[in-house]
């Protein structure tokens, strides 16, 4: 009694961390499963575990492991294989246009803004689960951003730079390539948060600078993207005034937040599965890592520039400026209520990064038509949910413009559910909101100095 809600959540979070750490399963040879494995293998599992521990240490020091992985997932070789070309590059992003695989394509292209926390190819993993490849196969012209991995020289990049160079400049490039053509815009995670700001700025009275150079948006899709940060779930436990001040001091030393620091925080949101169970399996049971494409992508982390990251945490998490209509773009605050475009919004049931009930709050912030989808899975696996993947389902409803508010619990209880992948529902939704026209397949132009997909930004890796 008398404790703030935030500190109550912190107490629960860290109590769970301690309980997970002190689980009998983590007591090495006291674990019955470890005892049985040690007897079966004559202790060889402990030798293998020591080798795994040595390799883990070498990776932390920036050294190559002594035991190479059984299978590698390298961009352009095993993952990020969809054919295309870089058609535009600036100091922060590369814009990739993919090669059509159908004779004709839908008139409106799809422009995707991924999160800048990780590499873009979460949406172009292996050929069987690549959202980009699937969209191209359905007849869409697809553009996607590949973010530059910041270093010390990028410390002063801020949110305005990410908007200008990460959304408006690529949109202008698309307008030059496809004149007078409206665009379906989609954003994933932080990319969706950024896209929502851009869409609100484009919709408000008094257009932004260079607005005449930008294409018209036909629709906006947000995938696991928050716009109201008042209830960010377990992420909120890690973000308060003191924590942000600590992060700012850490970033001031080097000009960025390292990928390893950020990945560690995310791992402890699922510590039982991502920390302790993995440690037990690797170091006591002696089992080698069995990487898959999603795990390999997850380990390919990127950095966050100090100024931008501080501004993002303060404006969004601490002060919730987007939801309250106080986030400035080009010196003037924007309001999501200005967006009149149809929206397709996806939340995932087990999302600890962007909890679906937080994602759902955009229905209170926008009066436009919104199709809301809740799919099973987590922040990444729920989005990478290709047709044919077993045990996939989703709930979906469309609220009309100015439709009544319905709380998330009531929505979940009443929304119809469907088996299969939400990708097919999104494809149908895009067609219904498009012009219906088809044009000859658009082959990406060959431009000097740019080269084929996946481009060069995706290979920027720095030892942190």
Q: Which residues participate in catalysis according to the annotation?
A: 189
- Per the CB < 8 A criterion, the answer to whether 175 and 212 are in contact is no
Residue 384 class from Cβ within 10 Å (0-12 exposed, 13-18 middle, 19+ buried)? buried
For residue 454, cis peptide bond before it (omega within 30 degrees of 0): yes
DSSP state for residue 252 in the 8-state scheme: H
Question: Could you tell me the two tokens for 112?
Answer: 């995707």
* Three-class secondary structure of residue 438 per DSSP: strand
Question: Could you tell me the two tokens for 437?
Answer: 């026209």
Question: Could you tell me the two tokens for 222?
Answer: 């947000």
- CA 349 to centroid of chain Cα atoms: 15
d(C-alpha 223, C-alpha 131), whole Å: 12
* Three-class secondary structure of residue 463 per DSSP: coil
Backbone angles phi, psi at 278, to 5 degrees: -65, -40
Q: What is the crossing angle of helices 32-41 and 44-60, to 10°? A: 110
- The alpha-helical segments, DSSP class H, found in 22-89 are 32-41, 44-60
- CA 54 to centroid of chain Cα atoms: 31
- Per the CB < 8 A criterion, the answer to whether 346 and 373 are in contact is yes
d(C-alpha 317, C-alpha 313), whole Å: 5
d(C-alpha 452, C-alpha 444), whole Å: 10
- Per the CB < 8 A criterion, the answer to whether 105 and 436 are in contact is no
Q: What is the CA radius of gyration of the chain?
A: 23
Question: Could you tell me the two tokens for 18?
Answer: 């301690």
Give the count of beta carbons closer than 10 Å to the beta carbon of residue 52. 22
Residue 413 class from Cβ within 10 Å (0-12 exposed, 13-18 middle, 19+ buried)? exposed
């Amino acid at each position: 009694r008398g404790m703030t809600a935030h500190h109550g959540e912190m107490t629960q979070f860290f109590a769970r961390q301690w309980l997970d750490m002190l689980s009998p399963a983590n007591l090495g040879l006291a674990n019955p499963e470890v005892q049985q494995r040690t007897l079966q293998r004559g202790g060889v599992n402990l030798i293998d575990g020591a080798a795994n521990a040595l390799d883990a240490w070498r990776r932390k020091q920036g050294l190559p492991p002594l035991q190479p992985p059984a299978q590698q997932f390298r961009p352009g070789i095993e993952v990020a294989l969809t054919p295309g070309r870089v058609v535009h590059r600036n100091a922060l992003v590369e814009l990739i246009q993919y090669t059509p695989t159908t004779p004709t394509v839908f008139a409106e292209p799809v422009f995707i803004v991924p999160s800048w926390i990780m590499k873009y190819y979460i949406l172009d993993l292996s050929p069987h689960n690549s959202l980009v490849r699937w969209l191209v196969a359905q007849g869409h012209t697809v553009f996607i951003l590949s973010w530059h991995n910041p270093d010390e020289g990028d410390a002063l990049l801020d949110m305005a730079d990410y908007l200008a160079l990460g959304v408006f400049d690529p949109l202008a490039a698309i307008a030059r390539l496809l004149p007078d053509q409206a665009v379906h815009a989609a954003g994933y995670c932080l990319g969706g948060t950024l896209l929502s700001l851009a869409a609100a700025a484009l919709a408000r009275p008094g257009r932004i600078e260079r607005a005449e150079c930008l294409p018209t948006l036909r629709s906006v899709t947000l995938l696991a993207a928050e716009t109201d940060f008042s209830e960010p779930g377990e992420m909120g436990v890690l973000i308060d005034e003191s924590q942000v001040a600590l992060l700012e001091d850490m970033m001031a030393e080097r000009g960025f937040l390292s990928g390893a620091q950020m990945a560690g925080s995310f791992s402890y949101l699922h510590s039982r599965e991502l920390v302790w169970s993995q440690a037990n399996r690797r170091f006591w049971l002696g089992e080698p890592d069995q990487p898959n494409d999603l795990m390999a992508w997850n380990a390919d982390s990127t950095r966050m520039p100090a100024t931008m990251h501080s501004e993002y945490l303060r404006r969004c998490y601490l002060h919730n400026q987007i939801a309250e209509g106080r986030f400035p773009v080009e010196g003037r605050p924007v309001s999501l209520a200005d967006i009149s475009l149809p929206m397709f919004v996806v939340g995932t049931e087990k999302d600890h990064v962007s909890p679906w009930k937080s994602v759902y709050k955009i229905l209170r912030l926008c009066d436009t038509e919104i199709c809301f989808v809740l799919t099973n899975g987590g922040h990444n696996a729920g989005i990478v949910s290709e047709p044919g993947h077993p045990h996939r389902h989703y709930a979906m409803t469309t609220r009309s413009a100015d439709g009544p508010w319905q709380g998330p619990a009531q929505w979940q209880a009443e929304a119809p559910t469907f088996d299969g992948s939400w990708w097919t529902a999104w494809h149908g939704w895009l067609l219904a909101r498009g012009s219906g026209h088809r044009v000859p397949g658009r082959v990406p132009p060959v431009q000097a100095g740019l080269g084929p997909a996946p481009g060069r930004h995706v290979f920027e890796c720095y030892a942190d």
